Amino acid sequence: MNVDHVQTVNVNATSVTSVTSVAITTTTGNLVVLGGSINRSTSTDTLSVSDSKTNTWTQNPSSPVNVGGASPLAQVCQFYSSLTSGGSGHTFSLTSGIGGRDLQLFVSEFVGPVSSGVQDQSSGNSDTSTKTPTSGATPNRNQAQEILVAHFSADEGTNLQSISPGAAAFKIPSNGSISSNSVACPGAVEYQITSLEGTDAGTFVNGASAPCATVIGTYKTPLPPIPTDDFHKFPRPVLRDVRGGFYP
């Protein structure tokens, strides 16, 4: 089965209660991961997400991540859904429970997730001042073939100058980063399609230090089929008899 990133869109705004993305065309069964950020709110502010086709959204268990105590300079959260309803005109919304805040939303669609029990491992971490925000390592994944998605958000008062993935295997997609605070929250999303077992950390590299909150989630894809005809995949043993001849 093909496993890949399909598209990413973003919307960010200042002094708002909610934002909604541009309408895109999605596919039923695909995985959509939403990364939401809010700055300079309170640690009790609850971010919620929804979409125009009323799919069910689940929050990454390591999210939200706050940096800066009771009045976080940055808060990042991650939600996911295996779409039971996709199609054209699909929009995604992020809402602050308090309002009057700066919000940022990344919407990323992936083809090829498992149909149920898609979320595997997660991790979240905050850094009070860093150029290399990291989620910290997840526990060992329960399978090798997965989609890894990480988000981070920095304090809105900072200009990160540039953002790149912290590990070569990760990729920031088009529309997947906002490095300056020209509008709202600087931050980014990165992803990796992996077939290697292990633990994972979402790490970014910025051009300037800032308080950052980072979270990663790993999402299962179908296991490759087990070969049913191994006989022909390996060389047959060559048996020599005591007389120096060969068995057929």
Partner 1 sequence: MSVLIDHQAVNVATGSQDLGPVNLPDGLSTLTIRIARCTTPTPTIWPDVATSISVGLFVSVDNGANWIASGSLTSTGGIVVRLGVESPETVMDVSPLPVGNGRQVKATVAVQNGPLVSNVTVEAT
Q: Where along the sequence are the contacts to partner 1 (CB under 8 A)?
A: 9-23, 40, 89, 91, 99-100, 102, 156-157, 174-175, 178, 182-184
The nearer residue to partner 1, 1 or 23, going by C-beta atoms, is: 23
Smallest distance, Å, CB 166 to partner 1? Answer: 24
Task: Report yes or no: 194 and 148 within 8 Å, Cβ to Cβ.
Answer: yes
Smallest distance, Å, CB 181 to partner 1? Answer: 8
Task: Report yes or no: 26 and 81 within 8 Å, Cβ to Cβ.
Answer: no
The nearer residue to partner 1, 40 or 131, going by C-beta atoms, is: 40
Burial bucket for residue 50 (CB in 10 Å: 0-12, 13-18, 19+)? middle
Q: Which structure tokens are listed for 57?
A: 């959204």
Smallest distance, Å, CB 192 to partner 1? Answer: 22
For residue 29, give the amino acid letter: G
Q: Taking Cα atoms as reference points, which of 175, 51, 44, 19 lies closest to residue 98?
A: 44
Q: Which structure tokens are listed for 187?
A: 């931050």
CA dist., res. 20 & res. 230, Å (int)? 52
The nearer residue to partner 1, 19 or 83, going by C-beta atoms, is: 19
Smallest distance, Å, CB 193 to partner 1? Answer: 22
Task: Report yes or no: 172 and 188 within 8 Å, Cβ to Cβ.
Answer: yes
Smallest distance, Å, CB 15 to partner 1? Answer: 4
CA dist., res. 37 & res. 75, Å (int)? 6
The nearer residue to partner 1, 67 or 148, going by C-beta atoms, is: 67
The nearer residue to partner 1, 103 or 148, going by C-beta atoms, is: 103
For residue 112, give the amino acid letter: G
Smallest distance, Å, CB 91 to partner 1? Answer: 6
Other CB atoms within 10 A of residue 231 CB: 8
Q: Which structure tokens are listed for 151?
A: 């988000």
